[in-house]
Amino acid sequence: MKIDHVSVAGKDLKSLEALFAESGLKTEYGGPHSSGLTQMSLLGFGDGSYFELISSVKPGTESYIWKPQIEGEAGPCAWAIGSEDISAEVARAKRLGIPGTGPLEFSRKRPDGVLVEWELGFIGEQEAGALLPFLIKDTTPREYRVKPSPSISGGPLKGVGTVVIGVRGLEEPVALFRKFYGWEEPEVRSDIWKGVRLASFGGTPVVLGAPTGSGWLAQRLEKFGESPCAFLVAAPDLAAAAKRHPLEPKQSWFGDTSLSWFAPLKKSGMMIGVVGR
C-alpha cells in the first residue's frame, strides 16, 4: 500500500498555506473542485504523494465532504490510496460486508486552465478517508494532478510516509484492517505518545492511535470522530530535514526510527511531522 495523498482541512485556505509556508512547505494553489464548494492547494513530493490543503471556496459555505473538519479546523482529516480498478475494490468490500460506493467522477480546473479529472471510490461506514482510505484513479494524466513542489524538490523530504488514525479503541479497527487487507497483527506500544496506545502494521503506512485517558486525542475524537489525527513525512536523513525545516527535538518512533514535529504546525494544533533516522 502506498499513500496517494492526505487531506488537511481548515476554514481559510490562505491561512493554511501561510502555516505550511512557515514550516518551509510552500504549497501551490490547485483551484476549485467541480462541486464549486471547495478549493485546494497542494504540496507535491518526489515520490508522487502529496498534501492537499482543502477549504471552502467561501468561509462558512457548504462543502461536499468534510464539512465539520473544515469548519472545525481539524487539520488532518482524510487519506487516499491509488486504485487501478475502483469498481473491483468496491465489490470486494461489499463481499466482505463493508459498504462501498463508486467509482464517481470528479474534477477541478487549475489556475492555468487545465482540467484535472479523476474517479473516487469510498469504502467503509465513516466519512471519506476517515478510517479506511478512499480510492482514487486518474482519468487525465497524473502529472496534471500533481508535480513535485519547488519548495521541497530535491530536499530531504521524500513523501507522505505514515497516516496515524485516531480511533476510540484498537480492537475493532485492527480487525477491520486485517479483514480487508489481510495484514498481520500490529505492534502495539504505549510509550511513544503520552495517553495514547499506538498500533503499527509493519510494512504499511498505517498506524492506529487510541486514547487511554481524556487528553487531546479523546477530545479530538469527540469533535471529529474516528479519522486521521497525524501525518508523517518520510525523510531518511532526519538531521538534514532539521537543517532545512523548523522541527522540534526528535523522539522515538517504531523500530529504529525517530519522529520530529514541524514546530509551527504543532503549535497551531496540527500533528504533522517527519520520520527518519
Domains 3-145 and 159-276 equal at CATH topology level: yes
pLDDT of 267 reads 96
pTM here is: 0.96
The helix/strand count (H/E) of the chain reads as 8, 16
**From the CB of residue 267, how many other CB atoms can be counted at a distance below 10 Å?**
13
Residues 116 and 143: their CA atoms lie apart, in Å, by 9
pLDDT of 33 reads 87
Say which CATH superfamily domain 159-276 falls into: 2,3-Dihydroxybiphenyl 1,2-Dioxygenase, domain 1 (3.10.180.10)
Q: Are 93 and 87 in contact, with CB atoms under 8 Å apart?
A: no
What are the sequence ranges of the domains in the chain? 3-145, 159-276
* Per-residue pLDDT tens digits for 112-138: 999 999 999 999 998 899 999 999 999
pLDDT of 215 reads 92
* Per-residue pLDDT tens digits for 182-193: 999 999 999 999
DSSP structure class, residue 36 = S
CATH node for 3-145: 3.10.180.10
SS (H, E, C) 132-164: CCEEEEECCCHHHHCCCCCCCCCCCCCEEEEEE
Query: Which of 172, 174, 112, 164 is CA-nearest to residue 143?
Result: 112
pLDDT of 60 reads 59
pLDDT of 61 reads 60
**Residue numbers of the chain with a pLDDT score lower than 70:** 59-64
- Ramachandran category for residue 70: left, alpha or beta (phi over 0 → left; psi -120 to 50 → alpha): alpha
Gyration radius of the chain over CA positions: 18
